[in-house]
Amino acid sequence: MAGARPLIVLPHFSIVVPTYRRPAILAKCLDAIARLDYPRDRFEAVIVDDGGGQVELPRVPSGMELVLLTQPHAGPAAARNTGAARAHGEYIAFTDDDCRPEPGWLRAVAAKIAEGPDHAIGGCTLNALPDNPYSTATHLLVDYFARWHASHGDSVFFASNNLAVPAELFRSRGGFDTSYPRAAGEDREFCHRWSRSGGGFTYAPDAVVRHEHHLGLQSFWRQHFTYGHGALRFHRTLARAAHRRPARTPPSFYVRLVASPFASRERRPVVLTMLLLLAQVATAAGYWRERLRREPR
């Protein structure tokens, strides 16, 4: 028929969610996935129980495919790869069990795929706990880290809790590096390797995920101490690839980081600045603790 619009076929997604011993938190994530404004026959959710043994899948809306896989405890990088190996979708959309995608998440990702079908698509992750200063400080740090690296000619960094990639390219490029046993640095290494292999990046600001990362003082310290472990592992990866030590982070990075709560007009900027300083101490402690263990380079 003359003048008829061409039929647009939406991409088929496999949503991969690693989880470990957080059934109540996972239930909120699955509820959000069930509310996605996307055709039920164009996505599946693949939940990977990383050895926790506490996952019970809820009843899901008619037409929505929900799959549960289990593996021995090996960390989120390995769990994501396990889910990706089973995924049937053309694209894999990664999020975490403590995240809640907004209803328009997949549609916003699909719109950006139309612009760059072979790109890694990174969405916008919002802090779901603005009254928790530890969660807010961690969110500020991750957001600042991504913006700083993107603006200084480094490879783009998209966090793995809001990341979509073409399934076949993800597999052919090796997926996540399973030598990263914790949730620290594995997404940074993946983005760096994706870039080095010629992969492009597209930011999807309307692909919103809300991150509900409950933290207190002890878990805040532990989280950033673990980031230090991941940072050292990533630096060693860079050193092996370039046969030299990576460039040092300039002092301006840290100055602007601790000032970021004031620039972003957050509530309690002084408290957040102190927590960002504490986070850097914890990261440095984790970095040097891992370095002193004298692991093979």
* pLDDT at residue 88, rounded to an integer: 96
233 in Cβ contact with 192 (< 8 Å)? no
11 in Cβ contact with 167 (< 8 Å)? no
The Cα 180–Cα 53 span in angstroms is 22
What are the structural domains of the chain? 13-292 (3.90.550.10)
* pLDDT at residue 297, rounded to an integer: 45
Residue partners of 101: CB distance under 8 A and separation at least 6: 29, 32, 33, 36, 95, 208, 209, 210
| pLDDT mean over 177-199 | 90
* pLDDT at residue 153, rounded to an integer: 58
Confidence of residue 1 (pLDDT cuts 50, 70, 90): very low
* pLDDT at residue 244, rounded to an integer: 58
The Cα 208–Cα 125 span in angstroms is 6
Average pLDDT taken over every residue of the chain: 89
* pLDDT at residue 264, rounded to an integer: 81
* pLDDT at residue 289, rounded to an integer: 87
Q: Is 202 helix (H, G, I), strand (E, B) or coil?
A: strand
- In the chain, the amino acid numbered 152 is H
Give percent above pLDDT 90 in the chain: 67
pLDDT digits (tens, 9 = 90+) for 70-127: 999 999 999 999 999 999 999 999 999 999 999 999 999 999 999 999 999 999 999 9
